[in-house]
Amino acid sequence: MKPVALVEGRGVPLGRSDIDTDQIIPSEWLKRVERTGFGRGLFSEWRDDPSFILNQQDFVGAAVLVANARFGTGSSREHAVWALMDYGFEAVVASSFGDIFRNNASKQGLVIVELAEADVAELRDLIEKNPRMVITIDLTRRTIEVAEVAWQREFAMSDTIRERLLNGWDDIGLTLLHEDDISTFETSYDRQHPSAAAQFSAEATS
Amino acid sequence: MGRTLFEKIWDSHLVTSSETGPSLLYVDLHLIHEVTSPQAFDGLRIGGRRVRRPDRTLATADHNVPTDPLDVPVADPISKKQLDVLEENCAEAGITLFPRGHANQGIVHVIGPELGVSQPGMIIVCGDSHTSTHGALGALAFGIGTSEVEHVLATQTIPQTKPRTLAVNVVGTTPLGVTAKDIALGVIRRLGTGGGSGYVVEYRGHAISALSMEGRLTLCNMSIEAGARAGLIGVDDVTINYLRTTPGVPQGDEFATAEKSWREFASDPDAVFDDEITIEAASLAPLMTWGTNPSQVVEVTGVVPAPVDEADTRSLEYMDLAPGTPLSQVAVDVVFIGSCTNSRIEDLRAAAAVAAGNTVASSVRALVVPGSHRVKKQAEAEGLDQVFLAAGFEWREPGCSMCLGMNPDQLTPGQRSASTSNRNFEGRQGRGGRTHLVSPAVAAATAIVGCFAIPHEVAR
Ligand code: SF4
């Protein structure tokens, strides 16, 4: 994953609440075996509507999606994160997020900014008034800011996630630093709890 | 102080532990399927890594397999490719796979429990949010994303920040005709779609103890719809008696040894939860969803409620419903009995009991999709297939099917369904489709009447 310290770009206000991952990327898009090309499927059930916000000229090329409560609930599909990033979003701002979505985002470098509902609404209003203004998200300071109108908020982000984003760390690599711990645990665990699934290996293959 | 079931499982899987950041947990069983795994295997290859424990990994084809007869080839080339890639990846890594048509194939959350590979005290993960299902057996089971699938394949561990615990007490006795699905919908109505967020839920109380294992699987399955990563139920006689019938558990004298250690996996009487809610079982009735998220719940014998916020208004519009309309006057086009929520043998028995001797309304297409080949075989041995076919239901091959509409079983725009699945999101069962979540018995009654109905209303 690429390190990310700063996100700078225009915003898109998407005021609906409860945008689940089926909405972000409908299931017909899940048949791909690649990790790329999902941007075309982003919100695809809404994109046919010319008045849908992503179709408006003002918002082409925006980097920050400003949503509403419970963004990314539902299915575990990481494709939702791939779709947002492939489309060009680098951060999502909302008042709450689905747990798995939030996790998936942190593995890919999509920045999740959780703010109080009133602050998110304020930010959406600001963008609606002036779609061209630039939003700056600074992970080092944990701030989100619209310098033009002197609007700034702090947000919470766990040290673990922030470090990972700032350094672009690969989770697997980090875990494998504990290889000795894993092996020690595994050896004693295997003795007491042999794999229950292993016995089906002979029955497999059609 | 005693420990909760969750704490016992957490403590026994700690490879490294941290109070503030994530701890590293060992994974007993990693279930995979064709949709969320291909990019993970790709990632391993790019990183020059191998699958650490193929023997603790089990694969099945379920999400986009067609439910047509097995001699009909997979028509959709992209689905076919995904199924082929799963076979190649499993062959390369030495992972056991149950492909389309295999006697053990089925929906991942149906086969884990029925094969007996999902056992008390385990940590089970799968790239699918309904992994919470396996918690019914006293296992900590949760859904993960594709990057995490790759992580588990490579390391057999998963980093997790300790969640909080929430006890959901369902006290008293459930009224006649109220099923596990109704309890699940009642809990989500109470918690809302975000109420379980950050929690592992443990279901407790008389109404839960009284549930069969299959009912418990249904209830834990839907924990994610209240935002919770996992749902749990402590081990008791019901758990042990269920496990005894499965092929994957230790047999003979060894079963007794296993039983003894499994019985530890229940919360201690003096265990303390971070939060607790209580629901009176007597307040529940046969329930259904009316809107586009699973907390928008109403009694089947009730009316479409008035909207209380903008989200409700939008839901009503999408669902094409007017407040005040009795649901008994709302006609359905499709009835779907299936999915990892309600496709087990008891679900099919409940639906067949209502269908027996009746006929599906001429305006309705009704499908029954057993959760696995084992379920299908058992149902056929009991003659349930004949009951369904005689009543005008379709009897299909196992898979996720119309639960998420990745295979050809889909709603067309504007069609309304009564579904025993778990998500009524916009377009979930097919673009423009309108989904109402119900129990198997209500689904069968609705198929026969043509509008939403409880079994009681079906003439014999
Ligand atoms: S039946 Fe539905 S919810 Fe269950 S695993 Fe399949 S797609 Fe997911």
Mean pLDDT of chain B: 96
- Taking the CA of residue A95 and the nearest CA in chain B, the distance in Å comes to 12
d(CA A172, CA A151): 38
**Which tokens belong to B205?**
């109380």
**Residue among A33, A35, A171 minimizing CB distance to B159:** A171
Which residues of A, range 34-53, sit inside 8 Å of B by Cβ? Answer: 34-35, 45
Q: Are strands A111-114 and A91-94 parallel, antiparallel or unpaired?
A: parallel
Q: Which residues form the pocket of ligand 1, taking CB atoms under 6 Å from any ligand atom?
A: B 62-63, 107-109, 128, 130, 339-340, 400, 403-404, 421-422
What pLDDT is recorded for position A205?
47
What pLDDT is recorded for position B460?
60
Are B436 and B452 in contact, with CB atoms under 8 Å apart?
yes
- The angle at the Cα of B263, spanning B257 to B266, to the nearest 5 degrees, equals 160
What digits encode the pLDDT tens for the residues B143-197?
999 999 999 999 999 999 999 999 999 999 999 999 999 999 999 999 999 999 9
All residues of chain A having their beta carbon less than 8 Å from the beta carbon of residue B155 are 172, 175-176, 182
What digits encode the pLDDT tens for the residues B308-365?
999 999 999 999 999 999 999 999 999 999 999 999 999 999 999 999 999 999 999 9
List Cα–Cα distances, A205 to A178, B129, B190, B244, in angstroms: 35, 26, 45, 26
Q: What is the pLDDT along chain A (206 residues), one digit of tens a residue?
A: 889 999 999 999 999 999 999 999 998 888 888 888 899 999 999 998 999 999 999 999 999 999 999 999 998 899 999 999 999 999 999 999 999 999 999 999 999 999 999 999 999 999 999 999 999 999 999 999 999 999 999 999 999 899 999 999 988 999 999 999 999 999 999 999 999 999 898 665 44
Beta strands in A83-173 (DSSP E): 91-94, 111-114, 135-138, 143-146, 151-154
Are B335 and B391 in contact, with CB atoms under 8 Å apart?
no
Are B419 and B387 in contact, with CB atoms under 8 Å apart?
no
List Cα–Cα distances, B219 to A54, A112, B188, B249, B349, in angstroms: 38, 31, 10, 23, 18
| Atom from ligand 1 closest to the CA of residue B62 | 6
Give me the percent of chain B exceeding a pLDDT of 90: 93
- Cβ distance of A22 and B426 shorter than 8 Å: yes
The predicted model gives B225-231 an average pLDDT of 96
d(CA B395, CA B386): 9
What pLDDT is recorded for position B388?
98
DSSP designation for B295: T
**Residue among B15, B28, B58 minimizing CB distance to A193:** B28
All residues of chain B having their beta carbon less than 8 Å from the beta carbon of residue A204 are 96-98, 102, 104
What digits encode the pLDDT tens for the residues B107-116?
999 999 999 9
- Cβ distance of B147 and A33 shorter than 8 Å: no
Are B123 and B9 in contact, with CB atoms under 8 Å apart?
yes
**Binning pLDDT at 50, 70 and 90, where does residue B20 land?**
confident
Q: Compare A204 and B94 and report the one with higher pLDDT.
A: B94
- Taking the CA of residue A194 and the nearest CA in chain B, the distance in Å comes to 9
**Binning pLDDT at 50, 70 and 90, where does residue B401 land?**
very high
Asked whether residue B459 carries a pLDDT value surpassing 70, the answer given is no
Q: Is the entire prediction scored with pTM above 0.80?
A: yes
ipTM of predicted complex: 0.93
What pLDDT is recorded for position B150?
97
**Binning pLDDT at 50, 70 and 90, where does residue B6 land?**
very high
CA of B130 to the centre of ligand 1 (A): 7
CA of B393 to the centre of ligand 1 (A): 21
Residue of B nearest to A201 (CA): B96
What digits encode the pLDDT tens for the residues B230-244?
999 999 999 999 999
Please check whether residue A161 touches B, CB under 8 A: no
DSSP string for residues in B74-135: ---HHHHHHHHHHHHHHHHHT-EEE-TT-TT-B-HHHHHHHHT-S-TT-EEEESSGGGGGGG
Residue of B nearest to A75 (CA): B129
> Going by CA atoms, what residue is nearest to atom 2 of ligand 1?
B403
All residues of chain B having their beta carbon less than 8 Å from the beta carbon of residue A185 are 15, 26
CA dihedral B448→B449→B452→B457, nearest 10 degrees, is -100
Our mutation pick for probing the ligand 1 site, out of B31, B107, B144, B372, counting the most ligand atoms within 8 A of Cβ, is: B107
Which residues of A, range 95-124, sit inside 8 Å of B by Cβ? Answer: 96, 98-100, 103-104, 107-108
Please check whether residue B148 touches A, CB under 8 A: yes
d(CA B377, CA B249): 21
Beta strands in B221-262 (DSSP E): 230-232
- Cβ distance of A103 and B148 shorter than 8 Å: yes
